Structure 1
């Protein structure tokens, strides 16, 4: 290379910026220098030379040089000359040779980067310029530890580039990778395997980290090379000797796992697993009770899991193939592993247990398919059940108040155990029922003295039966007599044993969860409802000292009441009295922490509503109860609303607004209790809700905290439109007027669905109001859309797009509800203004959702106003604006005909043309032939063709034709 000294060429100043502690300006310069070297045709050669000659001792500079080299190979390899490619090969080998002489190896991050560069070079050149890649490296490194380290790292980097299935490759890369593997199998794999054997043998005592690296390589490569090269006596014996070495055993386990996992013929796989098991068993590895190293046992458990699942797979394949004799042998081999599986499943360390769950699950699936179970198999099922029940139990260390990572892991592990329980229920529901009953009865008899985890798991198991046993919920207490009576007995015991008094949150929660899970039990035995209601309402439930329990119970109580309200008639007023203080709106200056959060209170209000509405009292009583439920809310609301504008502090304002919003939300939530059968009118509650409405509406004109207040009142109005129907109408004009004042895009966007709901529900009833509000609403929208926004303000742009969509949906609702008089009565100038916005929406904005809506509107308007007795001047508008829109929009470059949403827009655009033909007939065809299409330079033949298709009755043919027409036009 023509350069006196590399030092002279490398930018020493820029290199200083590579140090992580360097100043920002130096770092900036280093970055710019990196870009410069990457892009240059030959400047990277400076880095190559620096590496080959070992000029720099600074680690960051060496890493930098490798990065530059990596970029050349990855992105510019094809453009390098033969000499430059040769230079890369020589650089790498010279660098590697230098490593053999070093006393101290390079830092791991440099070795990893070097390995990546070797691997990239290999991928680019192995099939063409460097077929002897591995032989060259092996010849150079021999058994030099530093060299072997780079060789093994390179093999792992090659695995990542060529084999790793988690990395997405292009079809071209996949073909290349397949060719690389085929060539390697032919030319060098036996030599590589031999080198691995030598490394494993030579270094097992002296360099355990190299041995571990080598085991990782064997595990990675075994999936695609000839297994006989590895699964032979000398290799397996060597691996087994590693299994006895403390520093190697975990990696040896992983390596054996990969060998066992390799796809194979079922008979060969069974033989391999069996021979491996024999050797492991005679070496004493099956005595897991004596093993104290939990990390190793977790790996060993994973290996046994792999072996077990492999045998299950072999058995399944052999059974399907009808190979009865060999399948029976495989099943025997499988059964022989069950005692070991059980030891691992029941191990006190959850990681060890979790690693064997897959095998356990698959084994149960095998048993499920057998026509008859032997006594031994039944014993195995029972042993698995007992193991699952034992492992579901919390340990002493579990922190219920402050759940961290360990707790989250146990919750995940419990989910795996639940899968096993579900599978057990499929294999033998009777056995599961008996086993749970035994555990449950024992715990319930001595719950006062038993530790919490035993009591919790007993109730938990009863709960889990609900999901594990077929025929869920109501059917638990009908049908199969054994199951029904067993579950009923257990539920009776749960309620009458007094266990709900147990002083531990986990037991308390499990009690309430189970009561609600089996709420249908109380339909068959309603005499137990009062005692359970008391548990919900007293110190065990809603008054519990734990906020977590109170919160969950608020939700569970609402579910319990929803199911069983028919059986609670006698207790309604008592319940309402007892929960009265939980229904209070906590004002912000209270200072006392409330028993329930506002989210929990929502459930309480809904529950109160359900009790009142579904009770058997006469309408007047229901009205009185509902009034006493909602009056405290409206009273506090008036007080706080009066206070709000006088409050100067923004934080206090926000707190008050929050409180006001909660009041509206609570009132709204009570209305969920009404159904089609029990309407607000029938219950005599209309008046109560109208009073609420009257109280809440003034919040719309509050000068501060407009956003949250408007949002709350708007939601309430949505509910009242459903509940009060036309009784709500007198309130709408004033509410609308307030909501249209000083609007933001978001306000309007949320207001439009309300108006659309009213339009769709009441149609002609609200026509006068809509005619009145139509232009003020439209003008408010135009004003917001017309406001200037920052060029890069994505949020503002999105808000405007959403508002535009809402606006067009609103017009669509009006035209689609057959209320054309609303627009027709707006005066010619206003109508024209609105029509132009719809044309603009169809053509100018690249938003297919809005465009589609606009074409639906245009089509509808043509249908309403485009005929002989339509709106004056509208036919002229059709020819001047609607027809051009139908052609200009699809011709725009932003109109993407490969996009599904855009195709729907084109479909509506085509239907608009069809509607114009329907309404205007031959006059329209004549306009297209003589005026419009010639103005677009469409040839007479195509014009003729389009007009013929347009006159045919089949719309589908027209849609396909128009798509082809625009595709052609855009070429």
Structure 2
């Protein structure tokens, strides 16, 4: 026997480290010992001996031994000799034998690990060395409960290894698993099924946990074995008898669900479902109201859902094949389950209800395909509709102010119910509209005395109508009073009923959501706008007692105003005065809790901006209103900014900086109201925003809290470039100077888009400024890129990569805007320095995005400076550096032509070469033929070929040729 050459004892000192409470040094030693035993050719055999002889009683040591064995089977089975493989088999059987005699069972974690090791051994050896695996185990264990437990756990572990579809398998494993299943079907499945029957029968009274395990095994295996072995009288009767045993019923339900779920011929499936239903019904399981065990009912609901969906699938297949008679029988069988489905759907427990939604949805889909509905089918639709409306209702326990897991689950469940409602509307729009109208009107007539959940769900249904019904069914608004839609009528009721006064947060939210959902209603009936505006502005909306309502209403109010601003001219100044206190900057020291968060205030500022800009007042009035809106921000900003540098406490500094950032953000948000028609200039607001710039820019030189302040001011400048046009230009030089001082990579990276935006927008107008700022900016970038960084600092490396990309994008913006003089006027030395960085970016860094940008720049520079009257010395630069870059970059091993970005880079390289030929003509071809390509050892034939393609007008041909050329060059 192989184990005789193994060391006879284990390292007892190392084993001490297996205890979870052991010292770190012991744990380290145990780990090292584990590695040693795993990798050794035969040292692991000592673990096999320990398990076979039961030498150790410590659970951690036994688990450790199984782990070592597991490693051998999993990773080293192929290198074990026949004797060692035999040793593993014998060890497992001896260990199993000891379990039969033990008074006490092993802990579950050891039994699970043993089952795993047995399953792995089975997978490796069943087809070759151990075809009698199950026969040996069943012979050994008989009906011993300890043995049966390991046997069932092993079957589940085999299912995980061989069948489980959630586990990814290689092609080789899939092939092996198929062979294993085929072998099992041929050789042992009938014996296994017989053993399951014996176990279920023997232990249903005495060992419920074993019976449940066995039911789980049957459920797992039924998907791929012959169904007749399970779906027969003796087996199904046994399962049904277990449906009446409290400890077994849930697992029996799951097992029946798996049987029903098995793929089958539609006629056979219908017969199976029907026979099962008859037995369940006669056994009293359909009397759902009398069942108090909700956990069982949830499982039963899932089973009924499976049966219903199976019947739908059978009907669909039969319907498609035109088998009318049998399809009609299947539909009758299906509809016979609807009363049971409705009982489960309307059950007060949401888990039970949620488990039947699938069947309900698919049944409605069947009805949708029928040409005409019978009276009974219409009654079913109505019953489902009422059930869904009832189930949409919140319960008393729902916590609106502090939503937890239960609340999240209800929100998800509501989404499922909404799908049902949408499907109901498709099946019978008239019925759907009528039902919603009835529920809505009943609830709103008596909203003062109705519980909040009834009122909320009534408004919720009105909200859902719009999505569920197409416009042709009344879910639209018309100007013609005689044709006023049902929806219009319901909206009138919603607004005039006074329900907006309902105190509960959920009703308030639903009211405002619905008003904004149907804001087009107010275009048809603008007379309702004043009353809804008041609801937004008073204790019902922005001043509601619930912060959640206030927050949501701030957003909804901005949407409402944006849509209906044309109808609000008469109320503008009244609204602005009513929201005045909500527009205040809340400095941290005032001690009052703000009604709105800073994010909510952004929406209010934007709303105020929209009201001012789109009002019909003359420009002077708009300017006065905008000034009264922004001056408090400007004043508050100045005071806080003066305080900030004097503040020693860092936490307090952060709070002040946040407040300053918010002030800038609020001012920025008001500018979103302007458009191409309503510009800052036409509204007379230029001066107001200039004053903002004067106030905010000093923050750039604040010595503390630089990052948040710079970020806020930079964002404001981006907005002003769009809104103020050239009026912003005088502020840019000073702002740039401040932002280029003491730069971090992130500062620079965020500053470059600002300069690029100015360049692209103003072009020649900013040329003098750009010439001035160009080299300081470039030098700041070089300085940051040149800073040493830790070798493995991924963050620093990524920051530099992003900065490099931003730098090249900036150069591209300048060259692309036709402002070559910005670079040309930097002096020969500086121009050369910049050009070399572009060559370096094109060739040296394996970043295809940056490389592509560099070649776009080079193409543009060749176009601008590469001709006869171009920049002095540039043709020389073309031949010495640009042409080599076009060939060296694609020849680099990092230039991956299977990568889409890299292919785009190659495309730009081709365009660069094409542009050089356009500008330099035959001189360039001669240089390639006589000097450059020979220096790369390119043969005369290929050189000739490349030059010919280069001279053809079709760029596409050249692109394809260059790709092939470099693919060849890399071989």
TM-score (norm 2): 0.98
**1:534-564: CA deviation from partner (whole Å, max 9, x where unpaired):** 1111111111111111111111111111111
For residues 946 and 736 of structure 2, the distance between their equivalents in structure 1, rounded to whole angstroms, comes to: 47
* Cα deviation, residue 139, structure 1: 1.4
Indicate conservation of the 8 Å contact 2:425/2:468, yes or no.
Answer: yes
* Cα deviation, residue 814, structure 1: 0.9
Indicate conservation of the 8 Å contact 1:476/1:484, yes or no.
Answer: no
Indicate conservation of the 8 Å contact 1:466/1:472, yes or no.
Answer: no
- Residues 724-735 of structure 1: pairs in structure 2 closer than 5 A: 724-735=724-735
Indicate conservation of the 8 Å contact 1:476/1:483, yes or no.
Answer: no
* Cα deviation, residue 929, structure 1: 2.3
Say if 1:72 and 1:354 are closer, same or farther in 2 by CA, change over 3 A: same
* Cα deviation, residue 863, structure 1: 1.6
* Cα deviation, residue 911, structure 1: 2.0
Indicate whether 1:806 and 2:806 are aligned.
yes
For residues 617 and 939 of structure 1, the distance between their equivalents in structure 2, rounded to whole angstroms, comes to: 78
* Cα deviation, residue 2, structure 1: 6.6
* Cα deviation, residue 16, structure 1: 0.7
Say if 1:416 and 1:510 are closer, same or farther in 2 by CA, change over 3 A: same
**1:872-895: CA deviation from partner (whole Å, max 9, x where unpaired):** 111111111112212222222222
For residues 278 and 320 of structure 2, the distance between their equivalents in structure 1, rounded to whole angstroms, comes to: 27
Indicate conservation of the 8 Å contact 2:479/2:524, yes or no.
Answer: no
Say if 1:602 and 1:19 are closer, same or farther in 2 by CA, change over 3 A: same
For residues 126 and 442 of structure 1, the distance between their equivalents in structure 2, rounded to whole angstroms, comes to: 69
Indicate conservation of the 8 Å contact 1:426/1:469, yes or no.
Answer: yes
SS where residue 129 of structure 2 aligns? coil
Size of the aligned set, in residue pairs, is 971
**1:591-633: CA deviation from partner (whole Å, max 9, x where unpaired):** 1111111100000000000101111111111111011101111
Say if 1:38 and 1:482 are closer, same or farther in 2 by CA, change over 3 A: farther
For residues 38 and 61 of structure 2, the distance between their equivalents in structure 1, rounded to whole angstroms, comes to: 15
For residues 8 and 165 of structure 1, the distance between their equivalents in structure 2, rounded to whole angstroms, comes to: 43
Indicate conservation of the 8 Å contact 2:576/2:608, yes or no.
Answer: yes
Say if 1:363 and 1:144 are closer, same or farther in 2 by CA, change over 3 A: same
* Cα deviation, residue 942, structure 1: 2.8
Indicate conservation of the 8 Å contact 2:2/2:83, yes or no.
Answer: no
* Cα deviation, residue 954, structure 1: 2.6
Indicate conservation of the 8 Å contact 1:14/1:30, yes or no.
Answer: yes
Say if 1:611 and 1:480 are closer, same or farther in 2 by CA, change over 3 A: closer
**1:142-179: CA deviation from partner (whole Å, max 9, x where unpaired):** 11111111111111111111111111111111111111
Q: Which 10-residue stretch deviates more, 376-385 or 865-874?
A: 865-874
For residues 110 and 319 of structure 1, the distance between their equivalents in structure 2, rounded to whole angstroms, comes to: 53
* Cα deviation, residue 933, structure 1: 2.1
Say if 1:819 and 1:8 are closer, same or farther in 2 by CA, change over 3 A: same
* Cα deviation, residue 7, structure 1: 7.8
For residues 829 and 237 of structure 1, the distance between their equivalents in structure 2, rounded to whole angstroms, comes to: 94
Say if 1:952 and 1:685 are closer, same or farther in 2 by CA, change over 3 A: same
Coordinate RMSD, CA, aligned:
1.6
For residues 113 and 481 of structure 1, the distance between their equivalents in structure 2, rounded to whole angstroms, comes to: 76
**1:500-519: CA deviation from partner (whole Å, max 9, x where unpaired):** 11111111111111111111
* Cα deviation, residue 914, structure 1: 2.1
Indicate conservation of the 8 Å contact 2:220/2:258, yes or no.
Answer: yes
Indicate conservation of the 8 Å contact 2:475/2:486, yes or no.
Answer: no
SS where residue 763 of structure 2 aligns? helix
* Cα deviation, residue 491, structure 1: 1.0
* Cα deviation, residue 472, structure 1: 10
Q: Which 10-residue stretch deviates more, 445-454 or 245-254?
A: 445-454
**Match of 1:540?**
540
Q: Which 10-residue stretch deviates more, 624-633 or 93-102?
A: 93-102
Indicate conservation of the 8 Å contact 2:612/2:626, yes or no.
Answer: yes
* Cα deviation, residue 588, structure 1: 1.3
For residues 577 and 836 of structure 2, the distance between their equivalents in structure 1, rounded to whole angstroms, comes to: 60
**Match of 1:778?**
778
Say if 1:484 and 1:46 are closer, same or farther in 2 by CA, change over 3 A: farther
Q: Which 10-residue stretch deviates more, 553-562 or 879-888?
A: 879-888
Indicate conservation of the 8 Å contact 2:475/2:487, yes or no.
Answer: no
For residues 34 and 940 of structure 2, the distance between their equivalents in structure 1, rounded to whole angstroms, comes to: 61
Say if 1:47 and 1:519 are closer, same or farther in 2 by CA, change over 3 A: same
Q: Which runs of 5+ in 2 are unaligned?
A: none
For residues 897 and 41 of structure 1, the distance between their equivalents in structure 2, rounded to whole angstroms, comes to: 45
* Cα deviation, residue 477, structure 1: 1.1
**Match of 1:210?**
210
For residues 28 and 241 of structure 1, the distance between their equivalents in structure 2, rounded to whole angstroms, comes to: 54
* Cα deviation, residue 819, structure 1: 1.2
**1:22-45: CA deviation from partner (whole Å, max 9, x where unpaired):** 111111111111111111111111
Indicate conservation of the 8 Å contact 2:561/2:610, yes or no.
Answer: yes
SS where residue 8 of structure 2 aligns? helix
Q: Which 10-residue stretch deviates more, 777-786 or 871-880?
A: 871-880
* Cα deviation, residue 4, structure 1: 7.1
SS where residue 138 of structure 2 aligns? helix
Q: Which 10-residue stretch deviates more, 225-234 or 933-942?
A: 933-942
Say if 1:480 and 1:963 are closer, same or farther in 2 by CA, change over 3 A: farther
Indicate conservation of the 8 Å contact 1:189/1:225, yes or no.
Answer: yes
* Cα deviation, residue 589, structure 1: 0.9
Indicate conservation of the 8 Å contact 2:346/2:387, yes or no.
Answer: yes
TM-score (norm 1): 0.98
Indicate conservation of the 8 Å contact 2:474/2:487, yes or no.
Answer: no
Indicate conservation of the 8 Å contact 2:260/2:273, yes or no.
Answer: yes
**1:907-941: CA deviation from partner (whole Å, max 9, x where unpaired):** 22222222222222222222222222222222333
* Cα deviation, residue 672, structure 1: 0.7
SS where residue 678 of structure 2 aligns? coil
For residues 482 and 391 of structure 1, the distance between their equivalents in structure 2, rounded to whole angstroms, comes to: 35
**1:478-516: CA deviation from partner (whole Å, max 9, x where unpaired):** 499999521112111111111111111111111111111
Say if 1:190 and 1:390 are closer, same or farther in 2 by CA, change over 3 A: same
* Cα deviation, residue 340, structure 1: 0.1
**1:732-777: CA deviation from partner (whole Å, max 9, x where unpaired):** 1111111111111101100111111111111111111111111111
* Cα deviation, residue 98, structure 1: 1.4
Indicate conservation of the 8 Å contact 1:473/1:518, yes or no.
Answer: no
Indicate conservation of the 8 Å contact 2:115/2:154, yes or no.
Answer: yes
* Cα deviation, residue 965, structure 1: 2.5
For residues 196 and 90 of structure 2, the distance between their equivalents in structure 1, rounded to whole angstroms, comes to: 25
Indicate conservation of the 8 Å contact 1:473/1:517, yes or no.
Answer: no
Indicate conservation of the 8 Å contact 1:50/1:56, yes or no.
Answer: yes
Indicate conservation of the 8 Å contact 2:558/2:604, yes or no.
Answer: yes
Say if 1:267 and 1:282 are closer, same or farther in 2 by CA, change over 3 A: same
SS where residue 897 of structure 1 aligns? coil
Say if 1:252 and 1:455 are closer, same or farther in 2 by CA, change over 3 A: same
For residues 234 and 483 of structure 2, the distance between their equivalents in structure 1, rounded to whole angstroms, comes to: 57
* Cα deviation, residue 468, structure 1: 1.3
Say if 1:531 and 1:168 are closer, same or farther in 2 by CA, change over 3 A: same
* Cα deviation, residue 967, structure 1: 2.4
Indicate conservation of the 8 Å contact 2:143/2:199, yes or no.
Answer: yes
SS where residue 4 of structure 1 aligns? helix
